[in-house]
Chain A
Amino acid sequence: MTAAPQVTRHRNRGETLNLAADVLVIGGGPSGAWAAIAATEAGARVILVDKGYLGTSGATAPSNTGTWFVPPGDARRAAIDRRLALTHGLADPRWAHRTLDTAWEKLHTLADWGYPFPDDETGKPYLANLRGPDYMHFMRRRVRRAGVKILDHHPALELLSVGDAVAGAAGVDRQRNRPWRIGAGAVVMATGGCAFGERILGATGLTGDGYLMAAEAGAVMSGMELSAQYAFTPQPSALNKGLPFRWASFSREDGTPIDTAGKDRHVEIAKALQEGPVFARYDKASSELRTWLRQGQPNCFLPLDRMGIDPFSERWPVTLRCEGTVRGVGGIKLAGNDCSTGVAGLYAAGDAASRERLTGAITGGGGPNASWAIASGSWAGRAAAAFAAQIAGRVDDRAVASLGGVGLRTDTAAEGSDDAAEFVAAVRAEMLPLERNFFRRGETLRQSLTRLDAVWGELRRRSPGGSIAALKLREAAAMTATGRWAYASALARTESRGMHRRLDVSSADPALVCSFEAAGLAQVRVTRGEIRPEVPAR
């Protein structure tokens, strides 16, 4: 493989931009950035395409995120034990160890590179927190310095294959309305999770595109029933950030306090929201904490400040917004430690991958997911580079097939409007309501699944007029597919476990300490996956 980070460029297919690389990374959030860097470090020529802009895309850039960062040794073993006890039996301590190990190393690398970590009270750099805008601005510079070619606003629409192996992707430069096609020895899917069109930070790009593309290549999803994470959000903003709510009290419209002491606050507030408006106030924060909250979480105060509300003394309406698989758990099933997917040449990282083995049946938000993005991105990038090395030099002249179906190609005559907004509205109606997704029942799951299947059927009959319309249809299709996998898996898991709350089967079934895998697009099939290793209860 040539170490020089050169990319070949052809413009011989009409308007299409044709490029080739050893490794193509799809997605420019943290996992994509770390994957791109790891692949170049392994000697690969790398292109990174992002639907938006590497630096602002994804759920991390608009946020301030903790990392799961624990020193090796007894402290780490204890942290893993504490965490495992919360994961309802679905996590695997080996993956926690691996993630912590790699995140520990890479966060120190980030410090060595000069990322401006703050000093803690002992004067030592505090590496367990990353301020999103600064972190991703910094990562963009590191990715560029590594020699990666970054193509912003170049959403991928479909994967390409050679035989059984993934061999690149095709998409559209949405600002120039120009198709692109990139041949690659291996592809890292780092497209993030799916927020089902909810108004949360990062959701505009997080439509599950990578799940759809990977499924078309034969990949399987895992843990999709764990897609019912919701976040407290000041209404009507998009600020789904939980940290300040640590110091919140909640009340009903008439001022009656909502008692959440000793209970699952999300559940109590979800119940109250089904009965009427709920209000919050950060009145449990001391004056010292209020100063730190404002300094440390300025984005959380922007909406309230701009609405003219003092969030510490006044009550303001709060809601729960669905975070889908972003701070849920499900995603592309990983086949190996290297983030391979079982499809040759295809790797998955970050929220595009299932995080079940790390986080079990609870959210990985607030630390584990950030460390997972760093670790899984690094593993996937390195493994993709090694895979691509086997076919180095032959990337350009392979005959590739296009794998995209729905929204791109149709076998029936096009009919009806190709306005994707109506399909997105239909998905939102099934996936966002508390009474359908947060609280589940077999009956409502079946109803929603039937309707989502119908949406899928409609989408299959649409063929778009152009590449931009195709992007919107593909996003709608990816959200629909993700919803179908989520609810089909939720029906199969006939119990309640972690964020999967079934009102009709409210307890956990000891026989279901296993994953559920969802596959297929025309027909969704759900099967039981691996049984988790026994975890000592502490």
Chain B
Amino acid sequence: MIEILSSGRCIACDICVKACPANVFDPMPNAPPAIARQADCQTCFLCEIYCPTDALYVAPNAEGPSVIVEAEVEAAGLFGSYARALGWRRGKPGGADKDPTFRLRAASR
């Protein structure tokens, strides 16, 4: 589930408010959005890649909240790690043209 919205990284663009399919975030006046409905999070990690400043961290536990603080995520280099793995940058797509999944499909036959 969504656990961390880094106020240091966030530029309050509110893209996550719009892009989250579960409507987890609420916009706040002149401030970063609030994680308003964490329990509705479906742990899809998509908010992370839509965030232009890698300010969001989704913990792997989909069944409930996790105990983790921003400093741990920062130290482990996890902010933006899914976007980097895909090839997305600054909230924009990239890397689909390098996807080697066709090799997996050939190998799995």
Which of A's residues lie within 8 Å of B, judged by CB?
Answer: 51-53, 55-58, 61-62, 64, 66, 115-121, 126, 128-129, 131, 133-135, 137-138, 152-153, 174-175, 199-205, 234, 236-238, 243, 246, 289, 292-299, 301-307
Q: Which residues of A contact B20 (CB under 8 A)?
A: 52-53, 56
Residue of B nearest to A294 (CB): B85
Assess A297 versus B101: contact at CB under 8 Å? Given A61-B44, A306-B59: yes
Q: Which residues of B contact A305 (CB under 8 A)?
A: 81
- CB of B42 closer than 8 Å to a CB of A: yes
Q: Which residues of B contact A204 (CB under 8 A)?
A: 21-22, 40-42
Cα of A129 to Cα of B23 in the assembled complex, Å: 28
Assess A175 versus B17: contact at CB under 8 Å? Given A202-B44, A297-B101: yes
Assess A297 versus B104: contact at CB under 8 Å? Given A55-B19, A236-B61, A302-B60: yes
Q: Which residues of B contact A302 (CB under 8 A)?
A: 45, 60, 81-82, 85
Assess A118 versus B104: contact at CB under 8 Å? Given A153-B23, A201-B44, A302-B60: no
Partner of B22, one of A52, A116, A297: A52
- CB <8 Å contact, A133 and B104: no
- CB <8 Å contact, B105 and A137: no
Q: Give residues of chain B (22-61) contacting chain A, Cβ–Cβ below 8 Å.
A: 22-23, 40-46, 49-50, 59-61
Q: Which residues of A contact B64 (CB under 8 A)?
A: 236
- CB <8 Å contact, B101 and A203: no
Residue of A nearest to B61 (CB): A236
User: Nearest chain A CB to B22's CB is how many angstroms away?
Assistant: 4
15 new A-B contacts, CB < 8 A, other than A116-B97, A153-B23, A237-B62, are A52-B22, A53-B18, A53-B19, A56-B20, A118-B99, A131-B99, A204-B40, A205-B22, A236-B64, A237-B61, A243-B108, A296-B103, A299-B82, A302-B82, A303-B60
Q: Which 7 A-B pairs have the closest CB atoms?
A: A52-B21, A303-B60, A298-B85, A238-B62, A62-B44, A296-B101, A116-B97
Q: Which residues of A contact B102 (CB under 8 A)?
A: 118, 120, 126, 128-129
Residue of B nearest to A59 (CB): B44
Partner of A66, one of B42, B82, B105: B105
- CB <8 Å contact, B46 and A133: yes
Cα of A236 to Cα of B45 in the assembled complex, Å: 15
- CB <8 Å contact, A62 and B98: no
- CB of B107 closer than 8 Å to a CB of A: yes
Cα of A8 to Cα of B7 in the assembled complex, Å: 40
Cα of A113 to Cα of B13 in the assembled complex, Å: 29
- CB of B10 closer than 8 Å to a CB of A: no
Q: Which residues of A contact B46 (CB under 8 A)?
A: 56, 61-62, 133
26 contacts between A and B (CB under 8 A): A51-B21, A52-B20, A52-B21, A56-B44, A56-B50, A117-B96, A117-B97, A118-B100, A121-B103, A129-B99, A133-B46, A134-B93, A135-B96, A153-B18, A201-B43, A202-B21, A202-B42, A204-B40, A205-B21, A238-B44, A246-B108, A289-B104, A292-B100, A295-B99, A299-B45, A299-B82
Q: Which residues of B contact A298 (CB under 8 A)?
A: 82, 85-86
Q: Which residues of A contact B21 (CB under 8 A)?
A: 51-53, 56-58, 61, 202, 204-205
Q: Which residues of A contact B63 (CB under 8 A)?
A: 199, 236
Q: Which residues of A contact B107 (CB under 8 A)?
A: 289, 292
Q: Which residues of A contact B98 (CB under 8 A)?
A: 118, 295
Cα of A445 to Cα of B45 in the assembled complex, Å: 35
User: Nearest chain A CB to B66's CB is how many angstroms away?
Assistant: 9
Cα of A245 to Cα of B23 in the assembled complex, Å: 31
Residue of B nearest to A65 (CB): B101
Cα of A298 to Cα of B99 in the assembled complex, Å: 10
Residue of B nearest to A472 (CB): B40
- CB <8 Å contact, B103 and A152: no
User: Nearest chain B CB to A292's CB is how many angstroms away?
Assistant: 4
Partner of B62, one of A152, A236, A297: A236
Q: Which residues of A contact B59 (CB under 8 A)?
A: 306
Q: Which residues of A contact B96 (CB under 8 A)?
A: 115-118, 131, 134-135
Q: Give residues of chain B (71-109) contacting chain A, Cβ–Cβ below 8 Å.
A: 78, 81-82, 85-86, 88, 93, 95-105, 107-108
- CB <8 Å contact, B101 and A129: yes
Q: Which residues of B contact A199 (CB under 8 A)?
A: 42-43, 62-63
Cα of A117 to Cα of B98 in the assembled complex, Å: 8
- CB <8 Å contact, B18 and A128: no
Partner of A306, one of B17, B23, B78, B101: B78
Most B C-beta atoms less than 10 A away, residue of A118, A296, A306: A306
Partner of B93, one of A57, A137, A203: A137
Cα of A133 to Cα of B97 in the assembled complex, Å: 13
Cα of A301 to Cα of B81 in the assembled complex, Å: 11
Cα of A175 to Cα of B33 in the assembled complex, Å: 13
Q: Which residues of B contact A294 (CB under 8 A)?
A: 85
Most B C-beta atoms less than 10 A away, residue of A52, A115, A117: A52
Cα of A155 to Cα of B108 in the assembled complex, Å: 39
Residue of B nearest to A295 (CB): B100
